[in-house]
Structure 1
Amino acid sequence: MRKTLLPALLCLSLVASAKANTPSPMKPGLWQITMTSDAMKAAPKISPAQAAQMRKMGIEVPDMGSGGMKTKVCYSKTMLAQNSVPGQQSKECKTQNAKQNGDNFSAEYVCNGPNMKGTGTASGTMSSTRFNIKSTFNGTLGGRATNQNSQVSGSFLSDNCGKIKPLTP
């Protein structure tokens, strides 16, 4: 699952990099995140019994199906103020040709680390209450060849994250 999520988190880190000279327009709080990718279409399904067991162990289980997943994420004010998104601190990928025009952005990236090698693109829109990102990645992930296409969208739900803890950058 972690390798499946890595390209999606990379997309979010590219947003932060592309918008690094400006504060994030995203509102802090609880967000609904939907991700679809080629890898998720081939991912094994988690049975309801497995999901229930994972929840008993305190694991937040995303809603998965149809080549994607849906989950709730808490973004802290500090994280957004620093444009610090989980995965951004990775030294494996460098952003190039980052462009921003209003709410629209695009970037290219090159990865040359032990877990990810290859090139990709990301583009999309971001506002205080919504974002949409499309990305591609061609190379290797965990030593295996991959040609990934993914989409990540998010919508703001609430100022209060409730029981969901903020992500740690």
Structure 2
Amino acid sequence: MQKIILSLSLLLAVSTANSAESHMRPGLWEMTTTSGLLSLVPMIPPDQMQNLTNLAKQYGFDMPKINNGAATSQVCITQEMANQKIPTVLNQNQYGCDVKNAVQTGNDYKINLICENSVLKGNGVTEGIFTSPESFTGRTEFNGVVQGNPVSERAYTDGRWISENCGTVKPFRDPR
């Protein structure tokens, strides 16, 4: 179960964070991530789900609504975040993962992840396309080991801009 929680938190953080690439309109965005792991969320015990919710709050976002294998959340993208080639949240070396070879060509982007620590080891890639400054689609794949258990996960993320005003939704922040 801990493998599921760690993998889920990694995919949600990376899938949501990777969307803050340039060409993006600042403001409130709705992000929807789908994956096989998300369909397992109903089996997570309440105390472990609370730990995952607390982890999400440390990184400045509320736990997304998860239903039928899809997580939907709202994310505030500041002008500064929208202007960055690599979003601040990815540069923070979360979960012991380093961003390598971040490349943007036109509206396409690709980011390689290398994860090396006692809990999480492996490689991942995030790639996608901005269909307009107000929408994107992408995917994240990760292959490696979580606490000694092999994991091969794939998540798909779609984002759409909602408004210029983020309302009560706060931008990501550095948890350290």
Q: Does structure 2 retain, via aligned residues, the 8 Å contact 1:124–1:134? A: yes
User: Gaps (5+ residues) in structure 2?
Assistant: 45-52, 54-60
Residues 97-136 of structure 1: per-residue CA shift (max 9 Å, x gap): 4433210122333211233211122221024211211121
For residues 48-88 of structure 1, the C-alpha deviation after alignment (integer angstroms, 9 at most, x for no partner) is xxxxxx9xxxx945321111111111112233334434343
Q: Is the 8 A contact 2:123 2:142 kept in 1?
A: yes
The alignment yields a C-alpha RMSD, in angstroms, of 3.1
Distance in 1 of aligned mates of 2:29 and 2:164: 9
Distance 1:117 1:111 in 2: 5
Which residues of 2 match residues 72-111 of structure 1 at below 5 A?
72-82=74-84, 83-90=86-93, 92-111=96-115
Q: Secondary structure at the match of 1:86?
A: helix
Return the letter of the residue paired with 2:8: T
Paired with 1:104 and 1:25, the residues of 2 have a C-alpha distance of 10
1:147 Cα deviation after fit: 0.9
- 1:123 aligned onto 2:121: no
1:71 aligned to 2:76?
A: no
Judged with a 3 Å threshold, the aligned counterparts in structure 2 of structure 1 residues 26 and 95 are, in CA distance, closer, same or farther, namely same
Q: Is the 8 A contact 1:8 1:152 kept in 2?
A: no
The residue aligned with 2:10 is 6
SS at match of 1:121: strand
Cα shift at 1:149: 0.7
CA 1:95–1:167 in 2, change beyond 3 Å: closer, same or farther? closer
Q: CA deviation at 1:150?
A: 0.4
- Describe the SS at the equivalent of 1:43: helix
Q: Which has the larger radius of gyration?
A: 1
| Structure (1 or 2) with the greater helix fraction | 2
- How high is the sequence identity, in percent, across the aligned residues? 28
**Unaligned segments of structure 1, at least 5 residues:** 47-53
In the TM superposition, what whole-angstrom CA distance separates every residue of 1:12-53 from its partner, at most 9, and x where no partner exists?
A: 55566xx6xxxx22111100000111211111269xxxxxxx
In the alignment, is the contact (CA less than 8 A) between 1:74 and 1:167 conserved in 2? yes
Count matched residues: 155
> Is the Cα–Cα contact under 8 Å of residues 108 and 127 in structure 2 kept in the other structure?
yes
- Distance in 2 between residues matched to 1:61 and 1:12, nearest whole Å: 12
2:6, 2:121 → 1: CA distance?
17
Contact 2:6-2:146 within 8 A present in 1 as well: no
Per the normalisation by structure 1, the TM-score is: 0.74
C-alpha change, 1:157 and 1:167, in structure 2 (3 Å) is: same
